[in-house]
Structure 1
Amino acid sequence: MTALVGATIEQVDALGALTGMLVEVERTIGQMQAVRDGILATASRLAMQVADEAGHEDFGDLTIRTVAAELGAALRVSDRTVQRRMAEASYLVERFPRVWQAQGAGRISAGHARVIVEAGEHLDDPAGRDAYSEQIIGFAETESPNRVGRMARRVAERFESRSLDDRHKDARAKRRVWVREHPDGMAELGVFGPAALIHGAFDRITAMGRALQAGPSSPGASFGPAASGASAADPEPASDTRTLDEVRCDLALDVLLTGAPAGHDTPDGLLAAITATVSVTVPALSLAGVDSTPAELNGRCPIDLSTAKALAGAASGWDRVLTHPITAGVLAVDRYRPSADLRRHLQARDQRCRFPGCGMPARDSDLDHTVDHALGGATTHANLGALCRRHHVLKHHTPWHVEHLEGGVYSWTSPTGQVYIDRPPPVNTVTFTEDPEPEPPF
């Protein structure tokens, strides 16, 4: 049956109207995103102007951090995210003004602008960038971003002043690994590196996965009765029901968690001896099977109880966080092998950096004296808190000011006088409420 063959004229007209409305909405969104980029670029330029006039030796780094923190706190967004957006906006507005103007005029979308800028990233000559932008914008007005990306890379090569070999050397300095949380106790591990190595690693994992799926009959495999000494009467092993994607993921994690970095290990094998470490918080009642409250990984995302129980059972030692049964406030932290009680108490209380919007785990942060120890600040839970290195520096070297209130509450005052309250995040625990008294019978 041909789709829409039975549609009435009115229904077809309605679809046409919806299509037109959607096109206009998307164009408006792209224009507003261009306006936002202009504001962020102006904020970045303002920060650099302040730094230049003051002669800051860090070339404006702390000033930009301060401005990003001001904007991030107001938007309830991490200042790291805001600073990254400021840099991206400045790059677009200052290096590719034609592209930014085309987006602001509604000629192209933000997706088009992104792929155009990425493809022309290494065009150092302003005239070459301008010519490249003008040529590819015309193509982008009638094509999708994925098609524009392929064409943009081809066009950009015509204006490149440096060879691909030279550019690749610079690009290698940007290689990195990152983690992104997902729902249902899952997370994503990303790797950015040289294309030949990434594709080679992917091909090897794929070949391993296909060999596993092929089973005993795969070339070079030495399975079966002859190899294992099993008799012909033994039952055949259960077939692997995992998809190739699942097998690839399991193999990659197995290699990362248990394999030795042969190409980088020290003569003493120190790197091979390092094992993975994660922090899991699970209510005692859940651990005992009485309650079903999920566990929490590194204070970031929930994980299933079966995984949490397996980790707890295999751990050589673990912290016990005692919480108030009604308010869930942290009362004390101890361990079967006691050490550094105060540090563990603060990590349990804070869970993450105490600057507004920051999610850096407390275990990767500094324990900062709110009132400097050199000025008489006490080393107690009432004067200590977790601050990541970025916000630790921000606190000491910028106009941001913090007060430590009762209950571990932080009150931050921004350079413009805005006040932001940061409370300790709720602990992953179970609380209790009193049952209402039954009403007397009539």
Structure 2
Amino acid sequence: MTDGDDGPYYALCSPHDPIAQAALVARRADYAAWRVCHSQVGPLTEGNRDWDEHAAELRASPGGTPRFIESHLVALDVLDRLPSLRRLVEDMMHLDMYTLVRIAEVIFKLDPDLDGDAGAWAFLDEQLTAYLTPKRAAQVLPTPAAITRKLRQLLSLLQAEIPDGKKKEREQKRELDDGYLQYPDGPGTVGTAISHDQATAAIIDRALREHAAQKGLTIAEAHADIVLNQVTVSVTMNVYKANDIPGAPTFLPDRTLLTEEAEEKLDEHVGRVRDMDEAAHSEVEGYSPSGAQRAYLEGRDGTCRWPGCDAPAEGTDKDHRVNHADGGATSPRNMVCLCRRHHNRKTEKLIHYLFDDVTGDVYWLFANGKWVVDEAAGPLAPANRRWLSTLGERLKKRRARLWGTA
């Protein structure tokens, strides 16, 4: 593996891969075209443009619906408010317009009280730039879903700083139908959208998935069965919190960052506390990992470790890198999370991997000699532990600037 001589880079920007280089040229051209559109229209978020007129004019050039054009131009508006990220994107061109649109859609949910806060935007800029800077050669770029998940974590941290008085004022304005919506969803079907606080939503999601798996139902069928037949479902949930980092936040296995309110609500249901550092170095007899080992693996990996797979780690197979039959230990040092489909691909020897148990990195080796590295993304991943160790101090300084507290 000599690609490391080129320094850190994402696999989709590999200087050794002609397909990656061709795609890089295409991304750069697409970005440049939208920049030309943006320069002619100006920032849409300033609210001083006749968008209907511009949309009619632009449709003849890039094509697409007014909504499609608008989403791309707003994405550039948002990127312009994140100068470090913009420099990184224009230098590397690793993010396509689709990903930039997804980022803008999430940031648009920033609380109005924070939208005009330059410090909040600087915080997002710093954190996103660090997250989207490669750390090693041939690294797999986080998927758009992973990027928006990280962004929601950052927004949760910022939202938590809104004064309690404003939060209570909003809560008092709630109406009966708040958080509940039904809408036509095709011939003969109706969609239902329900919003809950984080803790309640996490418990419901886990119950639905458990019941669906046990009964061979879809999630929607499991929901109907539980509600209409008053089914009782018992669930086990893992939550993660660093005990060696003062003020560390609490995470769900999918890397959802819990608010203080959600953490307090879930604390009421905690039945067992496990030492994940101890589980990380443990080894058991037999093929199946212990409950503590499974909890650690899911907390470390976050998702299936196949390159680009976003299947949640919960419910995945726990694969022995060195097969158990060949003497491989049943230990997190020799195991990674793989969804059933990709576990089968590995078992069929269509692809191989190496595992670095210190960094949590998985090096995937393809038959044609190509290789990529997948970074662990769960709340227990080494990279996330380093992030948490510095995040607390940064937030403390930000709060001091905002509220005049130490």
TM superposition score category, shorter chain reference: 0.3 to 0.5
Point out the structure with max Rg over C-alpha.
Answer: 1
TM-score (norm 2): 0.40
TM-score (norm 1): 0.37
